[in-house]
Structure 1
Amino acid sequence: MKTKVRYFILYTVLIFTCFLTHATSFEKEKDKFVVVLDAGHGGHDSGNLGSGYKEKEIALKIVLAVGKELEKNDDIQVIYTRKSDKFVTLRGRAKIANDAGADLFVSVHCNAHNSSAHGTETFVLGLHANQRNFEIAKKENEVIFLEADYQKHYEGFDPNSPESMIGITLMQEEYLEQSIRLARLIEDSFKFKRKRNSRGVKQAGFWVLHNTYMPSVLIETGFLTYKKEGAYLNSKNGQDKMSNSIVEAILDYKKNLDQNIGENIYNDTGIEKNTDIEVSPLVYEGTVFKVQIAASSRDLEPKSYNFNGLTDLSKEKVGTLYKYYYGNTSDLNEIRRLEVIAKQKGYTTSFVVAFQDGKQVNLSEVLKSSAN
């Protein structure tokens, strides 16, 4: 029964995809790097009201400050999902980004919790790793209930259902690694440059992240329910500092892309290397994923001393070449994590491959199947 539910959800998602990618409201300016900035909530959707502050107002002020700085760069085009206190649907936000052919989608929010929790979190798309991540995604996704015709546009998706989350995670794998890179730059800037408490880079099933077809992140700038943090985010000083961190991260991300050294983005001194992202298993039964780190005519022992300290190595001879692999798992999220590690170790052109019955198969075909 669960498998049937997952297929139904995935079919629904494909319908959303077709709808979103045919819109043409925005055009990308030639040779410009397009950043879509999304201020969460708006209009009759105030977001959370922790300590009496309005999430929709704080998110908008931070987004406008980010956009103002980015617009000073001639090679960057900034597009906003909203620039005033108005309500924009989740599908409308995604549509704006897709129509623009955006290079990045950055959504800004403020967190809330019935505890003393505080600190920043930046999310990329993925299955919730724990109940806390699920609750955050559920809260942000529930905005669909504020739309009069939500049954028509989100048929089959229930923000309250963990099973619904499964169906929205398979389509954006292509952009996951880049999204993680940007998310880490943002959290590193919050932590090291602004001295904020960073709760790290995490994954959760946000509908709006799934339906944007480019690297995408959702930033929780802090907890309004934590009195000190709420006051900070509600202040101009706090908003300026948070927006500056986001700007710096976006510019660093773009710079590394321009220099074609994006894989070495975390080798700067003073920046903590962290691959501990909270992820839940996304297992494909009967499939083994590996990271191909090299192909060479040289026959090397698959030992750590030959491969910059990497372990869990294997090799295969294909024709006159030896292919070298890192990792061996049926968990797609785990192999993506290992891919990031391999690139940090210097294997900048490494990539994920899939095997079934001992033979290499097309990765994209595997990802179209239903994960267990």
Structure 2
Amino acid sequence: MLRDYVKTIKNVMVTKRILYLFVIIFFLCFSGTDPSRESQFRLKTVVIDPGHGGKDPGNLGTGKFKTYEKDVVLAISLKLGKYISENYDDINVIYTRQKDEFIGLKERADIANKNKADIFICIHANSNKSSAPYGTNTFVMGLNKTQANLELSKRENASILMEDDYVTKYEGYDPNSPEADIIFSLYQNAYLDQSLEFAAMVQKQFKNRAKRKDRGVKQAGFLVLHQTTMPSILVETGFLTNKEEEKFLNSENGQDYLASAIYRAFKDYKTVMEGTLPANFSPNEPMQIVDGIIFRVQIVTSSNAISLDSPKFNGITNVQEYVSGGWFKYTAGEKRDLASAYRLQVEVREKGFSSAFVVAFHNGERINLQDAIKMVK
């Protein structure tokens, strides 16, 4: 009788183990996990850098207002940080300054680097000898390609002259020297692709939502961007030397518009760079195959053309080139549906292109990814 009892107990234990194993297999097979929703990257830390401050007022504007560039950009920066913090509990927003104080350019970059920021957003306001120019620019780090960009970077970099022992700190760099630009000709930016992408998103929001004149995405030799080790942009929010734009930049409404525009660009950038399907998108949701709409995975941006069979692409096949804003950009694959494109993105990232992201084309022209999603849903 005891033997029968022991046998029964053993059978029950075996049955439980089999049932447990079955449950595990069931969930593994039918849980609906989609690799396109997996991500190797989460944007966790943002550093916002209000330009100038303290003894460095920045540009003085027309003189009509009692505020200077340092005051305007601080107000916009704090509003931008508030937008991000209120909408993303999991993102750490760090400011290089939150009051009227002088912070050196290197110290600003050090704050971003030490906190391992995922994005660096530098906020400024423009000026010109003429009162006519107006509109917004967003800059990425690079060689000054025009005299206007050179003059602008000289003005912004000149704040180092207010720093103690700047000659030693910046290894002899003099923003007023004709040879100063040489340092930037040797600069290699590992984050150029992401910086350009974010910059374009900011300009789009300025134009479409804030209704500002779009002066485009440009390169210039800004020291503060040169020192950072993450995707970085410098935003010129408008001209304080233009009377109408100065009025807009000094208004609460104008500052809100600009801050919210940068925030919306940040939101789009976060979605693209994290490489996850939009929260409201289901891989099982029926999607139209729209003629002319294709999705690719962008992997490299270069100032020079790269052979499509170059070993730099690490064995990735079906590499294609397109040119945008004077840059050569390279993509992998060609998918008609979004879910397949995101699965390809996972594969491309596993090949070493950790910041690759999905882009959309309509009849061969690059379009906004969100616009493409609306067209195929």
Output the TM-score relative to the length of structure 2: 0.65
Does structure 2 retain, via aligned residues, the 8 Å contact 1:129–1:204? yes
**Corresponding residue number in structure 2 for 1:33:** 44
Identity %: 43
Q: 1:163 to 1:229 in 2, by over 3 A?
A: same
Unaligned runs of 5+ in 1: 1-29, 263-280, 296-317, 352-372
Residues 292 and 239 of structure 1, relative CA distance in 2, 3 Å threshold: farther
Q: 1:103 aligns with which of 105, 109, 118?
A: 118
1:164 equivalent to 2:180? Answer yes
What are the Cα deviations for residues 95-119 of structure 1, in whole angstroms up to 9, with x where unaligned?
Answer: 0000000000000000000121110
The one-letter code sitting in structure 1 at the alignment partner of 2:79 is: A
- Determine the structure 2 residue equivalent to 1:265: none
Residue of 60, 67, 73 corresponding to 1:49: 60
CA distance in 1, matches of 2:91, 2:217: 25
- What CA distance in whole angstroms lies between the structure 1 residues aligned with 2:160 and 2:102? 11
Q: CA deviation at 1:31?
A: 6.6
Structure 2 Cα separation of the partners of residues 36 and 175 of structure 1: 16
Q: Note closer, same or farther for the CA distance 1:170–1:71 as it changes in structure 2 (3 Å cut).
A: farther
Code of the residue aligned with 2:192 in structure 1: it is L
2:246 to 212, 226, 230: 230
CA distance in 2, matches of 1:335, 1:189: 18
Q: How far is the alpha carbon of 1:148 from its aligned partner?
A: 2.3
* CA distance in 2 between partners of 1:201 and 1:345 (Å): 27
- Corresponding residue to 2:327 among 319, 323, 337: 337
Matches within 5 A, 1:163-242: 163-168=179-184, 170-242=186-258
What residue in structure 2 maps to residue 58 of structure 1?
A: 72
Segments of structure 2 that go 5 or more residues without pairing to the other structure are: 1-40, 279-301, 336-340, 352-377
Alpha-carbon distance between aligned partners in 1 of 2:199 and 2:115, rounded to the nearest angstrom: 21
Assess if the C-alpha contact under 8 Å between 2:133 and 2:242 holds in 1: yes
Aligned residues: 273
Helix, strand or coil: the match of 2:93? strand
Q: In 1, Cα distance between the equivalents of 2:59 and 2:103?
A: 16
| Residue of 92, 95, 103 corresponding to 2:107 | 92
> How far does residue 337 in structure 1 lie from its aligned partner after superposition?
1.4
Pair member with larger Rg: 2
Q: How is 1:64-75 mapped onto 2 (pairs within 5 angstroms)?
A: 64-72=78-86, 73-75=88-90
Change in Cα spacing, 1:232 to 1:291, as seen in structure 2 (3 Å) is farther
Task: After TM superposition, give the deviation of residue 338 of structure 1 in Å.
Answer: 1.8
Cα RMSD between the aligned structures? 3.5
Separation of aligned partners in 1, 2:177 and 2:276: 41
- Quick check: 1:113 aligned with 2:128? yes
